[in-house]
């Protein structure tokens, strides 16, 4: 019997549910301030906010994954198993980076400086990870290649490849 059909769907469901519940629990633990000192050589008090943002992103990613799992239960293939397993992890990291981009001023959004506003942005980043990656791609294109109106895109010769002349 195919292991995907036998245990794969149950494993994905339990995995996503663990990320969902675990993220909520870790946000509560970090918010309570009960974790002090160093954990794996990292001073928790310095990075507990960023860990909260990461877990908020993972929460959003796990929620979206559970929704997609429910909607596409019968369409599950081995290729999609990797998507389900990677989503909370990728959303964890992208949520932290989103907050850093907002704090640095590179990405602009009119939200308050409160912790709940930043956690909300981190959650939305996790839930809308695909849209976030599209925005990051557009941001890097604009940032490193210009906005396309001047004919140059960052490498000094007017185009990105160096193999054709600039368009007039």
Q: Model confidence at 8, in pLDDT bands (50, 70, 90)? A: confident
pLDDT of 162 over the 70 cut: no
The Cβ of residue 61 has, within 10 Å, a number of other Cβ atoms equal to 29
The closest alpha carbon to 130, from 71, 70, 83, belongs to 83
Rounded to 5 degrees, what angle do the CA atoms 97, 98, 102 make? 115
Give the domain ranges of the chain: 3-145
To the nearest whole number, what is the mean pLDDT of the chain? 79
Mean per-residue pLDDT, 33-55: 81
Read off the DSSP letter of residue 128. T
Cα separation, 71 vs 96, whole angstroms = 28
Cα separation, 128 vs 133, whole angstroms = 9
pLDDT of 157 over the 60 cut: no
pLDDT of 5 over the 50 cut: yes
Q: Model confidence at 150, in pLDDT bands (50, 70, 90)? A: very low
- Of residues 67 and 145, more confidence is placed in 67
Assessment of whether the complete model's pTM goes beyond 0.85? no
Task: Provide the percentage of residues in the chain whose pLDDT is more than 90.
Answer: 26
């Amino acid at each position: 019997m195919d292991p995907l059909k036998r245990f794969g769907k149950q494993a994905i469901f339990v995995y996503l549910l663990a990320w969902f519940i675990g993220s909520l629990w870790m946000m509560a633990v970090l918010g309570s301030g009960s974790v002090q000192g160093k954990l794996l050589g990292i001073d928790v008090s310095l990075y507990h906010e960023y860990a909260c943002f990461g877990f908020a992103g993972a929460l959003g990613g796990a929620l979206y994954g559970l929704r997609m799992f429910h909607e596409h239960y019968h369409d599950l293939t081995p290729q999609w198993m990797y998507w389900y397993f990677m989503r909370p992890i990728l959303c964890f990291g992208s949520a932290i980076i989103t907050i850093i981009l907002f704090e640095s001023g590179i990405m602009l959004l009119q939200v308050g400086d409160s912790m709940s506003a930043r956690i909300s942005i981190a959650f939305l980043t996790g839930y809308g990870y695909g849209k976030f990656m599209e925005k990051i791609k557009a941001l890097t294109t604009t940032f490193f290649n210009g906005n396309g109106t001047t004919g140059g895109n960052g490498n000094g010769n007017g185009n990105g490849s160096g193999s054709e002349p600039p368009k007039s």
